[in-house]
Amino acid sequence: MPSQPCTLIIFGATGDLTHRKLIPALYNLWIDGNLSSALTILGFARREKTNEQFRSELKETAEEFSRQKIDGTRWEHFASSIYYCRGAFGATEQYTSLAKTLDALDTQRGTCGNRLFYLAAAPEQFETILENLRQSELSTTRANSWTRIVIEKPFGTDLLSAQRLNSLVEGVCPEHSTYRIDHYLGKETAQNIMVLRFANALFEAVWNARYIHHVQITASETIGVEGRAGYYEQAGALRDIVQNHLLQLLCLIAMEPPIDLGADSIRDEKVKVLRSLRPIVGNEVPLYVVRAQYMAGTINGREVLAYREERGVHPQSFTETFVALHVNIDNWRWAGVPFFIRVGKRLPKRRTEIAVHFKSVPHILFKKAIQEVEENVLAICIQPDEGVFLQVSAKLPGSTVRIQPVKMNFHYGTSFGRATPEAYERLLLDAINGDASLFARRDEVEEAWRFVDGIRSHWNTSSTKDVAFYPAGSWGSSEADRLTEVCGAKWRRL
pLDDT at position 100: 92
HSE-CB at 317 with a 13 A cutoff on CA atoms is 24
The answer to whether the CB of 432 falls within 8 A of the CB of 7 is no
The closest alpha carbon to 494, from 345, 337, 379, 374, belongs to 379
Task: For residues 381 and 420, give the distance between their C-alpha atoms in angstroms, rounded to a whole number.
Answer: 13
The one-character DSSP state at 283 is G
pLDDT at position 148: 95
Contacts 24+ apart (CB under 8 A), 13-17: 13/43, 13/44, 13/45, 13/54, 13/84, 13/120, 14/43, 14/45, 14/47, 14/49, 14/57, 15/45, 15/120, 15/121, 17/120, 17/152
pLDDT at position 398: 73
Q: Looking at 296-370, which runs of residues are DSSP E strands?
A: 297-299, 302-304, 322-328, 338-344, 351-358
Same fold, 7-152 and 185-485: no
**185-485 CATH choice from 1.20.200.10, 3.40.50.1970, 3.30.70.260, 3.30.360.10:** 3.30.360.10
Check if 357 is active-site: no
The answer to whether the CB of 320 falls within 8 A of the CB of 236 is yes
Burial 210-244 (b: 16+ CB within 10 A, else e): eebbbbbbbbbbbebbeeebeebbebbbbbbbbbb
Amino acid in the structure at residue 476 = G
pTM: 0.92
What are the residue boundaries of the structural domains of the chain, listed by start? 7-152, 185-485
CATH number of 7-152: 3.40.50.720
HSE-CB at 293 with a 13 A cutoff on CA atoms is 21
The answer to whether the CB of 396 falls within 8 A of the CB of 373 is no
What tens-digit pLDDT sequence spans the chain (494 residues)? Answer: 678 899 999 999 999 999 999 999 999 999 999 999 999 999 999 889 999 999 999 999 999 998 888 888 899 999 999 999 998 898 888 898 899 999 999 999 999 999 999 999 988 899 999 999 999 988 888 888 999 999 988 888 999 999 999 999 999 999 999 999 888 888 888 888 999 999 999 898 999 999 999 999 999 999 998 888 888 988 999 999 999 999 999 999 999 999 998 999 999 999 999 999 999 999 999 999 999 999 999 998 899 999 999 999 999 999 999 999 999 999 999 999 999 999 999 999 999 999 999 998 776 666 665 566 678 999 999 988 888 999 887 777 776 777 777 788 888 777 776 667 788 999 999 999 999 999 999 999 999 999 999 999 999 887 667 899 999 999 999 999 999 999 999 999 88
Residues 6+ apart with CB under 8 A from 300: 222
Q: Annotated catalytic residue: which of 183, 245, 357, 458?
A: 245
Alpha-carbon dihedral of residues 424, 426, 429, 430, nearest 10 degrees? -110
